[in-house]
Amino acid sequence: MSMKTAIVTGANSGMGLATTIQLARQGYRVIMACRSEKRGQQALQEALRESGSTAIELILCDLGSTQSIRDFARSFRERYSTLDVLVNNAGVVMLKRQETSDGFEQSIGINHLGHFLLTLLLIQPLKAAEQGRIVNVSSGAYKAGKIHFDDPHLHKGYNPIKSYAQSKLANILFTRALSRKVANSRVTVNCLHPGAVGTSIGVDRNTGFGTRIMAFIGKLPFFLSPEEGAQTAIYLATSPEVAEITGRYFYQKKEQKLKAHAVDDAVTERFWTWSEQQVGLKPDERL
């Protein structure tokens, strides 16, 4: 059997690095999609050391840049014809409103739109795999989320919880819509809440300065380790138990019922169309 291939976004720290190491230990070839060359190389060395694998590599990808995402996808497709697992793990929480290079508010831009574009650009290698699995790391914060169609980039009344919750609801709407659009293929799409994990998610992407804004995500009196937080993503990426399951939301390896506003089909389709327009999806890239 040929080695299965996985991509993990935000793989240079926290759950992304833990996911990379665990997939590599299970025999996957893992491509670490990281924005920073320096941090990516440091994480690559740690992943190689901790996993004992030699089949891990780094390809730069800035989810805050549609051009960088397109460059990454092209580089991957030039080298690999199949993709077995895509773990859309990268995420940010911004204390103050900031924009990506494309002018998107950073939380919706990186947490959703960047992954939306990346996933659609990798659909063909996912479909070419024996069974392509897409795993979107969402959050219980979706419960407080709303898609602000009148001001999705939050030019008015910005606060970090509002922006993060919107982006995590977006992950779920994307999961449900995509699962329907690839239903005639062997590709599955699921999402998860990892729990309150102690990571650097609240740290400013540019300066490295910041604080963790995690308390609103869950009421736990402690933070999970990145390794613990990664367990459900690993489960969805690899377990035969979920091979036939798609379009669902999980917590602690168990399917969870979604709140009504996360299963609104009219909002889901409207948001998909908006997302296509935002990232400049070309006609031949649409599903």
Whether residue 93 is contained in a domain is answered as yes
Whether residue 40 is contained in a domain is answered as yes
At 30-45, the pLDDT tens digits run: 999 999 999 999 999 9
Query: Does 212 have pLDDT greater than 80?
Result: no
Q: Which of 28, 80, 142, 164 is catalytic?
A: 164
Give the pLDDT of residue 223: 66
How far apart CA 107 and CA 89 sit, in angstroms, is 13
At 217-260, the pLDDT tens digits run: 444 445 688 898 899 999 999 999 999 999 999 999 999 999 99
Q: Tell me, what CATH number does 74's domain have?
A: 3.40.50.720
Give the pLDDT of residue 226: 84
Cα Rg for the chain, rounded, in angstroms?
17
Q: How confident is the model at residue 118 (pLDDT cuts 50, 70, 90)?
A: very high
Q: DSSP E strands: which ranges in 5-101?
A: 5-9, 29-34, 56-60, 85-88
Parallel, antiparallel or unpaired: strands 249-251 and 254-255? antiparallel
Give the pLDDT of residue 204: 44
**Residue 225 corresponds to which tokens in the numbers above?**
């380790």
Single out the residue of 162, 117, 161, 111 nearest to residue 137, CA to CA: 111
Give the pLDDT of residue 2: 83
How far apart CA 24 and CA 4 sit, in angstroms, is 10
The conformational region for residue 101 under phi > 0 = left, psi -120 to 50 = alpha, else beta, is alpha
Query: pTM of the predicted model, to two decimals?
Result: 0.93
How far apart CA 199 and CA 229 sit, in angstroms, is 10
At 155-211, the pLDDT tens digits run: 999 999 999 999 999 999 999 999 999 999 999 999 999 987 654 444 444 433 333
Single out the residue of 175, 164, 161, 148 nearest to residue 258, CA to CA: 175
28 is catalytic: no
Task: Give the number of residues written for the chain.
Answer: 287
Whether residue 13 is contained in a domain is answered as yes
Whether residue 285 is contained in a domain is answered as no
Whether residue 142 is contained in a domain is answered as yes
Query: Does 215 have pLDDT greater than 60?
Result: no
Give the pLDDT of residue 48: 98
How far apart CA 13 and CA 276 sit, in angstroms, is 29
Cα 23 vs. chain centroid, distance in angstroms? Answer: 16
- Return the percentage of the chain with pLDDT > 90, whole number: 87
Give the pLDDT of residue 210: 37
Whether residue 24 is contained in a domain is answered as yes
Q: How confident is the model at residue 276 (pLDDT cuts 50, 70, 90)?
A: very high
User: Across the beta sheet with 5-9, what order do the strands follow?
Assistant: 56-60, 29-34, 5-9, 85-88, 133-137, 188-193, 249-251, 254-255
Domain that holds residue 58: 5-280
Average pLDDT for 273-281: 98
Whether residue 160 is contained in a domain is answered as yes
The conformational region for residue 52 under phi > 0 = left, psi -120 to 50 = alpha, else beta, is left
Contact (CB, 8 A) for 224 and 196: yes
Total number of domains in the chain: 1
Residue-averaged pLDDT of the chain: 92
Whether residue 119 is contained in a domain is answered as yes
Which run of H or E residues covers position 250? Answer: strand 249-251
How far apart CA 261 and CA 169 sit, in angstroms, is 9
Q: Residue 161 — φ and ψ, nearest 5°?
A: -70, -45
